[in-house]
Amino acid sequence: MKDSFLLAYKIRKVEQSLLDLFGKGLVGGTIHTCVGQEFSGISLASHLSSGDVVVSNHRCHGHYLAIYQDFEGLIAEILGKPHGVNQGFGGSQHIHRDGFYSSGIQGGMVPTAAGVALSNKIAKNKNIAISFIGDGTLGQGIIYETLNFISKHNLAHLIVVENNFYSQSTSQHETLSGTIENRARAFGVDYFCASTNEPELLIEKMGMAVSFVRNNSRPALIEVQTYRLNPHSKGDDQRDPNEINEAKERDSLNIFLKTSIPEVENEIKEFDLYVDQVINKALETPDSIVLEMDKSVKNQSLENKLNPVENQTTQLKEINKAFHQIFTSNTEALFLGEDVKDPYGGAFKASKGLSTQFEGRVLNMPISEPSLVGISLGASTTGRLVFSEIMFGDFLALAFDQILNHASKMKRMFGKVVKAPLIIRTPMGGGRGYGATHSQCIEKHFLGIPDLDFFVFHPRVDAFKFYSNLSTHVEHPAIVFEHKLLYSQDPFKKVPDLYELYESTEKFPYSRLRSDEGSDITVVSLGSMGLTLEPLMKIFSEEEVYLDVFYPLDLNSPNLINEISESVKKTKKILFLEEGTPVHSLSDSLLSEISKRISSEVTFYSKVLNAKPLPLPASTYLEKQVLPKSKDVENAIWELFDE
């Protein structure tokens, strides 16, 4: 046990040194130390095998140091230096190394670990996933959603609950009902318990828990009873000082140091000197990290003319065909969603036949969008291509935390080394009478999230080609919005008279309808609005009014903005058609970018046609009053033409 106590001392020394640096203003933000809880991570470290994955939380330093003993890498990271483990990007709470992740969102990465465990089970290896959470995190619903999933699917996932009896400064007695053990037992999850004040027994119990999970491919929860001797972070401690002093007297490391100083004195002095040297080196290292955006290759304004031929297909058939082709060629791919297995095949049948042909790679998930996306994300970090189907786009709001705080940050938060080939896809929009919570176009709430690829289907998208391309090029999460009304449409149907269909030569191309007769108005049609627009184009052609119609697919494409801008320079008029609600809409964002490019060169007129800012009614008659209608589009075009 001497080596374990020495490691505990080293961790505590680093933590105290970091707090001192924080007090001197040399550490930004905040810092959460594990002083008093060191044996929690130490008890796990000796039982890990190569290939195991540990997912930690905001109080992650002790876990990381116990496993890797990378004192210099951690100190440099927290000081924001180039030789930090994540080059300063992650800081105190967001640490990554092969086999280790941490995050500052309470419980947010527990489903990530579950996804890793799911991938391990499919791969039939003996690796396990471990999640560290605090007792305060037991207030998060995502914990119970994940417990349900890992128990139901017999996943090798160990959850370590560090029970220090406080959520920041609030006593557990004020917030937690029942017991931690009963929470685990309620999901059929085996339970273990030990204390950091009995480190030898804790190491033994942790070994038992790890062995149970590894050998039985079953989840378990171990409660590590402990006490945080320092504040939650910084100096925010409202606990009774007498209580803290009593805990210090019981602390196993303090007891060891009181009784064993002579035999470890030299090692302690040597390590203290080492830490001072590491800190001095870090402080002397210049802040030379420069953040760079990914370089976009500008397309050379090339467009290919297409000759669409009706072939009695639909977008939905093409989507389904793509999935079958992808799963045939990619034997590691997974498809997760609610009711996606046969015979149901998904609410809109996009996955029909997939589970029959590729047994074990299509999973019906519980009704829990946060855990669905989080587990899908975790599985994707193991290198698997994962499709995550959200039954209705409205439900993405439930998964917003997983998308914004975890999926989109996975690439950069951990030093641009983590790949997560995750494709989140969902049907959007009204016109089907599903009502206010199943019909919204909420795409605008996801546009602009860094490192989240963003695609919106339109009437002319080649869904088979799109998904085939995306499945081979996705390295970080992508989100795909498929409008319900497009599922029944043939994307290869005849184009309006006097118009030709073009497609840009980008990887994820926009489509464009334009006439040899010239163009009077530039039109940007988003989502399903082209279904309303195209029948009107013949009417306007008869009046010798011609449109230059853009169908965006990749909303983050710089080439798309460039080409629309060039069109507006010629027409000096632009109309946006969008089913989403006004104010900060997709159209507003595109218009802003176009204006920044050309407002100094040309004066132009613009108009944005959105749905009314109301919840969508279920009644067909009322729904039509909210959504943009054919007459609205016609009037908007005439208004612009007359400008």
pLDDT at 84: 93
Question: Dihedral through CA 535, CA 537, CA 539, CA 543, nearest 10?
Answer: 180
pLDDT at 299: 47
Give the whole-angstrom CA distance, residue 292 versus residue 273: 36
Task: Report the chain's terminal Cα–Cα distance, integer Å.
Answer: 84
Averaged pLDDT of the chain: 94
Give the whole-angstrom CA distance, residue 435 versus residue 623: 8
- Considering only 110-119, 140-149, 409-418, which range has the smallest mean pLDDT? 409-418
Tokens of 106: 């309470």
Dihedrals φ, ψ of 191, to 5°?
-125, 135
pLDDT at 293: 64
Tokens of 614: 């109301």
- Helical residues (DSSP H) of 217-251, grouped into ranges: 241-250
Give the whole-angstrom CA distance, residue 78 versus residue 61: 10
pLDDT at 328: 98
Find out if CATH 3.40.50.920 is the number for domain 499-641: yes
pLDDT at 422: 98
pLDDT in tens, 58-73: 999 999 999 999 999 9
pLDDT in tens, 373-384: 999 999 999 999
Percent of the chain whose predicted confidence (pLDDT) is above 90: 88
- Helical residues (DSSP H) of 553-629, grouped into ranges: 558-571, 586-598, 620-626
CATH topology (fold) of 2-284: Rossmann fold (3.40.50)
Q: Which residue spans of the chain are classified as CATH 3.40.50.920?
A: 499-641
Q: How many other C-beta atoms can be found within 10 angstroms of the C-beta atom of residue 214?
A: 17
pLDDT in tens, 133-169: 999 999 999 999 999 999 999 999 999 999 999 988 8
pLDDT at 295: 57
In one letter, which amino acid is 119?
Answer: S
Give the whole-angstrom CA distance, residue 446 versus residue 61: 32
Q: How many other C-beta atoms can be found within 10 angstroms of the C-beta atom of residue 330?
A: 15
pLDDT in tens, 575-618: 999 999 999 999 999 999 999 999 999 999 999 999 999 999 98
Kindly state the average pLDDT of the residues 107-126.
97
pLDDT in tens, 545-559: 999 999 999 999 989
Q: Is residue 111 exposed (0-12), middle (13-18) or buried (19+ Cβ within 10 Å)?
A: buried
**From the candidate CATH numbers 3.90.1150.10, 3.40.50.300, 3.30.420.40, 3.40.50.970, the one assigned to the domain spanning 310-486:** 3.40.50.970
Tokens of 201: 């027994």
pLDDT in tens, 322-363: 999 999 999 999 999 999 999 999 999 999 999 999 999 999
**Would you list the DSSP string of 358-403?**
STTSEEEPPS-HHHHHHHHHHHHTTT--EEEE-SSGGGGGGGHHII
In one letter, which amino acid is 503?
Answer: E
CB 8 within 8 A of CB 253: yes
Give the whole-angstrom CA distance, residue 143 versus residue 159: 10
pLDDT in tens, 234-290: 777 889 999 999 999 999 999 999 998 788 899 999 999 999 999 999 999 998 877
pLDDT over 70 at 23, yes or no: yes
Kindly state the average pLDDT of the residues 465-479.
95
pTM of the model: 0.92
Give the whole-angstrom CA distance, residue 250 versus residue 303: 73
Q: Which residue spans of the chain are classified as CATH 3.40.50.970?
A: 2-284, 310-486
Q: Which of 583, 586, 541, 548 is nearest to 565 (CA)?
A: 548
Tokens of 200: 């030898």
Give the whole-angstrom CA distance, residue 282 versus residue 276: 10
pLDDT over 70 at 301, yes or no: no
How many residues are recorded in the chain? Answer: 643
Tokens of 184: 């685990």
Tokens of 556: 């983050």
pLDDT over 60 at 432, yes or no: yes
